[in-house]
Amino acid sequence: CHGSPVTKQRRFPTKFMFGAATSAYQIEGAWDVDGKGESIWDRMTHMSPGFIEDKSNGDIAADSYHNYKRDVQMLREMSLDTYRFSISWPRILPTGMPNDINPAGIAFYKNFINELLKYKITPMVTLYHWDLPQKLQELGGFANPLISDWFADYARIVFQNFGDRVKHFITFNEPRETCIVSNMFSSFNGSAGPEPFNKSTNIVNYLCAKHLAVANAKAYHIYDKEFRATQKGQCGITVSVDWYGAHTNSPEDKNAAELKRQGEWGIFANPIFSTDGGFPKELSDRIAKKSAQQGYTKSRLPEFTEEEKALVKGSADFLGVNHYTGFLVSATVNKLENHVPSLADDIDVGLIVPQEWPKSGADWLTLTPNSLYNILHQLKAKYNNPVFYITENGWPTTAEFNLNDDDRITYYRAALENVLDALDDGVNLKGYMAWSLMDNFEWLGGYTQRFGLYYIDFQDPARTRIPKKSAFVYKHIVNNRYLDHTYQPESMTMTID
Ligand code: GBH
């Protein structure tokens, strides 16, 4: 077949799900249309545009609120069978609370889901991808333990309205980014965040970690008790998992890498997926010790009560994994200079990115050899091989117009080789979602970083979507179920097969 050098042709299983992912704030636009409430991202970008690299916002974004049929057409063009997108909480509940349901918001998502189902595309729905209703932020957001009840009420409304047609729910996208990187991302609880969200100290990050775990558990048990029997779907959570390898073979570096893993994703995955439940032991001991040294009367990491621990343990049907890149971890090199109490200070390790790892259009992301395989291997061992989905994986380029995105193609091929390796290894991986279906609002990066398989000119009022070369390559892989590293599209014209 085209003189492919592939000798042993490994295939993706017929039932393996291939899709693409997006999130509401990054694509929808229509930020105040048809009764939608304000989110923390609406407030932050309007109030503090200086925090965004190009001072832009998601007011219009890819305007998917009005272009959703075109989005579905793109999925069909690439022969994808799954679409992971998120629901905007304030579009459904403008104040965040269940007393005030916005019928236009419900109608929008119903029409959109129906459009997917019409073409047999499986919707995978994230309930929270960082656009918290501003009204809930004003009540303390994720620092307030009541967030778990607010979220549970919202989740019930989502299940009630869409669960007849949606069989894959994801409660939270990336608790780490919501809680720990929150000063910049999705809950604005941190001390370094934009006004007016910068009131609290780093203690709040750990409160968030606990409250979010309980919120996930409450939503999960609602699904389990009230909906599973009739709707017969699954409810999971997505955690961001970058790869952390030891810089050298020294026991100190190996331990530093393990500690980094615990602080990065163990803190969120362990309470749900481990046999014992609760936060990772080594990490919580360390935080307790540091807190005592700092003069606190208890650990800054709030432990779960036994009851909470039991509620949280097992509260996900699958582990969604967002994976982009990796780092080497050192016990001695590149350590923090600033010792303000924080997770970073509690862990206190250094990160190294070798020169030879290819650089992307974003500072934090390199092509790290075998990183996707390595994390799946680690997660399988640690959590007894739960059902996995790769819910995000992708490569950023700069805003410059360039449809020949060969670096993105190289990245996707390397990642999908890793998927095949993981499947060979018996990893219980059921699907792969590329980030992203199209260029979109990249949070603090604004429109300067592009992850799309389709290009968008954000000056163009029509927000025309144009396939990049990577879209054709992905389609070829999905249609043929194997990786042909030499494939080149014959033309840049898309058709629906
Ligand atoms: C995902 O987060 C998100 O789920 C998705 O919405 C996003 O578009 C996608 O990644 C691509 O970024 O600016 O140097 O401080 C991935 C985890 C955590 C990666 C924060 C970028 C910021 C690094 N992200 N990190 S920096």
The DSSP annotation for 95-148 comes to TSSTTS--HHHHHHHHHHHHHHHHTTPEEEEEEESS--BHHHHTTTGGGSTTHH
**H or E segment at 434?**
strand 429-435
CB-based contact 181:117 (threshold 8 Å): no
Q: Compute the C-alpha angle 344/202/443, nearest 5°.
A: 80
- Show the DSSP H helices in 294-333 as ranges: 306-312
What gap in Å lies between CA 31 and CA 43, rounded to an integer?
11
* Side-chain-facing half-sphere of 120: CA atoms under 13 Å: 5
What gap in Å lies between CA 116 and CA 73, rounded to an integer?
9
Q: Quickly state the pLDDT bin for 51 (edges 50, 70, 90).
A: confident
Other Cβ atoms closer than 10 A to 476: 17
- Average pLDDT (31-46) is 95
- Compute the distance from residue 124 Cα to the ligand 1 centre, in Å: 20
- Average pLDDT (303-322) is 98
CA distances (Å), 458 to each of 59, 146, 310, 470, 483, in order?
12, 38, 47, 20, 33
CB-based contact 85:123 (threshold 8 Å): yes
Atom 24, ligand 1: residue with shortest CA distance: 177
Question: Is the shortest distance between the CB of 177 and ligand 1 below 6 Å?
Answer: yes
Comparing 216-225, 249-258, 330-339, 416-425, the range with the smallest average pLDDT is 330-339
- Average pLDDT (252-256) is 98
- Average pLDDT (25-40) is 97
* Side-chain-facing half-sphere of 428: CA atoms under 13 Å: 13
Q: Quickly state the pLDDT bin for 339 (edges 50, 70, 90).
A: confident
What gap in Å lies between CA 104 and CA 88, rounded to an integer?
12
- pLDDT score at 7: 53
Those residues with Cβ within 8 angstroms of residue 357's Cβ, 6 or more apart along the chain or in another chain:
366, 367, 368, 369
Question: Is the shortest distance between the CB of 22 and ligand 1 below 6 Å?
Answer: no
- Write down the pTM of the prediction: 0.96
Show the tokens assigned to 75: 């999925």
What gap in Å lies between CA 284 and CA 279, rounded to an integer?
6
Sign of torsion over alpha carbons 65, 69, 75, 81: positive
- Largest separation between any pair of C-alpha atoms in the chain: 68
- Compute the distance from residue 47 Cα to the ligand 1 centre, in Å: 22
- pLDDT score at 26: 98
Residue 392 is a catalytic residue? yes
Selected residue with higher pLDDT from 456 and 444: 456
Question: Is the shortest distance between the CB of 439 and ligand 1 below 6 Å?
Answer: no
Closest to 471 (Cα-Cα) out of 74, 62, 27: 74
3-class secondary-structure state, position 152: helix
Question: Is the shortest distance between the CB of 182 and ligand 1 below 6 Å?
Answer: no
3-class secondary-structure state, position 384: coil
Q: Compute the C-alpha angle 473/477/483, nearest 5°.
A: 100
What gap in Å lies between CA 403 and CA 465, rounded to an integer?
11
Question: Is the shortest distance between the CB of 173 and ligand 1 below 6 Å?
Answer: yes
Other Cβ atoms closer than 10 A to 139: 14
Which atom in ligand 1 lies closest to the alpha carbon of residue 177?
18
CA distances (Å), 485 to each of 157, 245, 339, 474, in order?
45, 27, 47, 11
Beta strands in 254-349 (DSSP E): 319-322, 326-330
- pLDDT score at 5: 53
Atom 19, ligand 1: residue with shortest CA distance: 364
Rounded percentage of the chain residues whose pLDDT exceeds 70:
94
Beta strands in 332-435 (DSSP E): 350-352, 388-392, 397-398, 429-435
Please measure the distance between the N-terminal and C-terminal CA atoms of the chain and give it in whole angstroms: 20
Residue 138 is a catalytic residue? no
Question: Is the shortest distance between the CB of 181 and ligand 1 below 6 Å?
Answer: yes
- pLDDT score at 188: 54
Show the tokens assigned to 244: 């952390």
- Compute the distance from residue 99 Cα to the ligand 1 centre, in Å: 33
- pLDDT score at 196: 45
Question: Is the shortest distance between the CB of 186 and ligand 1 below 6 Å?
Answer: no
- Compute the distance from residue 125 Cα to the ligand 1 centre, in Å: 19
Average pLDDT, the chain: 94
Question: Is the shortest distance between the CB of 189 and ligand 1 below 6 Å?
Answer: no
Look-up: residue for tokens 């047609």?
A: 165
- Average pLDDT (116-126) is 99
What gap in Å lies between CA 83 and CA 22, rounded to an integer?
8
Atom 7, ligand 1: residue with shortest CA distance: 442
Rounded percentage of the chain residues whose pLDDT exceeds 90:
88
- Show the DSSP H helices in 33-87 as ranges: 40-47, 64-77
- pLDDT score at 29: 98
Q: Compute the C-alpha angle 191/219/179, nearest 5°.
A: 15
Show the tokens assigned to 86: 């998120």
Q: Is 133 left (phi over 0), alpha (psi -120 to 50) or beta?
A: beta
- pLDDT score at 182: 61
Q: Quickly state the pLDDT bin for 337 (edges 50, 70, 90).
A: confident
- pLDDT score at 192: 45
Catalytic residue among 174, 177, 258, 442: 174
- pLDDT score at 59: 98
pLDDT at 44 over 60: yes
- Average pLDDT (458-468) is 98
Selected residue with higher pLDDT from 195 and 12: 12
pLDDT in tens, 153-207: 999 999 999 999 999 999 999 999 988 876 544 555 544 455 444 445 578 889 9
pLDDT at 275 over 80: yes
pLDDT at 6 over 70: no
pLDDT in tens, 373-410: 999 999 999 999 999 999 999 999 999 999 999 999 99
Show the tokens assigned to 264: 């990065």
- Compute the distance from residue 482 Cα to the ligand 1 centre, in Å: 29
Which atom in ligand 1 lies closest to the alpha carbon of residue 181?
20
- Compute the distance from residue 485 Cα to the ligand 1 centre, in Å: 28
- Average pLDDT (25-33) is 98
- Average pLDDT (89-104) is 98
